[in-house]
Amino acid sequence: MRFFSLKTRIVIGEGSLSYVKSVAKNYSRVLIFSSKSMRIHGFLNEVMNYVEDSGAENEVILGVPAEPSYEYIENILPKVKEFNPDLFIALGGGSVIDVVKAVKVFYDAPNLKFEEIAFLDRFSKPKPIPKLKTPLVAIPSTSGAGSEVSAASVLKKGDVKYNLVSFEIAPEFAILDPRLPMTMPKGVTRNSGLDVLVHAIEAYVSTVATPFSDALAIKVIKSVFKYLPLSVNGEEKAREEMHYASTMAGIAFLNARLGLCHAMSHKGAWMASHGLLNAILNPYIMEFNMKIDYARKRYAEIARELGFNTAQELIEVVKELNEMLEVPKLGDLVSEDQFLAKLEDMSQKAYGDPLINFNPVEPSIEEIKELYKKAFYGE
């Protein structure tokens, strides 16, 4: 028995940002978390106007740290409680949406302790998050994280990254207005777009994939090869298609989860931005997974959808896409000394990452170490 669920109502199309008004009219106090970029480009003002038109009061919390921490959530909570919202809006990239998901947990269930409900690794058994009442409208401005539909929020506490995972924090609404991702810089467009490809490939080869997640993953992979290079060059139609592909990949991995590539990129997050690091690691992880029939068969299925035949050919076209988009080598981004100093620790932590459970092959710590090294030296 397997499941496929989607909690989020998805609204798409140019101008769909106005749907904020239709949602807000059922609430009276709307708290908007926004990135600074969304204010600069005028979209925060537009959202505030829709909330005002709906007759609700609004308040804004502006600028969320790129790698949000539990400490940040604790700092911001008194302000949230003082305003006492009955609806949250998250306007920005994946970090903004992840922050609001976590704020919602501790606002709606103030007696919860962070350590009790957070996943530290795949061996920990956190308490389930109880029913939460305040709805969340997620409005992504980047096309990559899938946080607008996913049930997870990644937060740091000290130096350690934790996951909150529950359908209770999946947004009630996701608004995909293609005007917003037009504001993405070229580098963000490339890195987040390559992350989308890894989401779809990992979801497709996952041990809990279903025909439903497969359909989305295949559509996403085709979209990435067709549209990502054009989207990076600023072509508007392509960027719109990538925005939708990003959410589709989010629905695929919300259900089928991810694998070793994300386990290793999460634990090596200090080396490069999330999407870029996934893009660098991905071909090595695919080669590694090829040791079992199931993964070879699944990669070959993707290859055939793209007009090729074999799993090996898929790995080659994934590498070619990286080259075409000028993805650097890991060794160009971090020094060898720093890399070697952190290698053991990263490898151990990646081994404990919950996503290893969904990878077609369970790696040893030694094998993870070898994969990081291959990616570093570009072998």
- Which residues of this chain interact with Fe ion, rule CB under 5 A? 195
Nearest distance from C-beta of residue 355 to Fe ion, angstroms:
10
Radius of gyration from C-alpha coordinates of the chain: 20
- Of all residues in this chain, which one has the CB nearest to Fe ion in the complex? 195
Nearest distance from C-beta of residue 69 to Fe ion, angstroms:
19
Q: Which is nearer to Fe ion, 195 or 353 (CB)?
A: 195
Q: Which is nearer to Fe ion, 17 or 145 (CB)?
A: 145
Nearest distance from C-beta of residue 261 to Fe ion, angstroms:
9
Nearest distance from C-beta of residue 184 to Fe ion, angstroms:
16
Nearest distance from C-beta of residue 262 to Fe ion, angstroms:
6
Q: Which is nearer to Fe ion, 30 or 276 (CB)?
A: 276
Q: Which is nearer to Fe ion, 85 or 144 (CB)?
A: 144
Q: Which is nearer to Fe ion, 144 or 360 (CB)?
A: 144
Q: Which is nearer to Fe ion, 47 or 346 (CB)?
A: 346
Nearest distance from C-beta of residue 258 to Fe ion, angstroms:
7
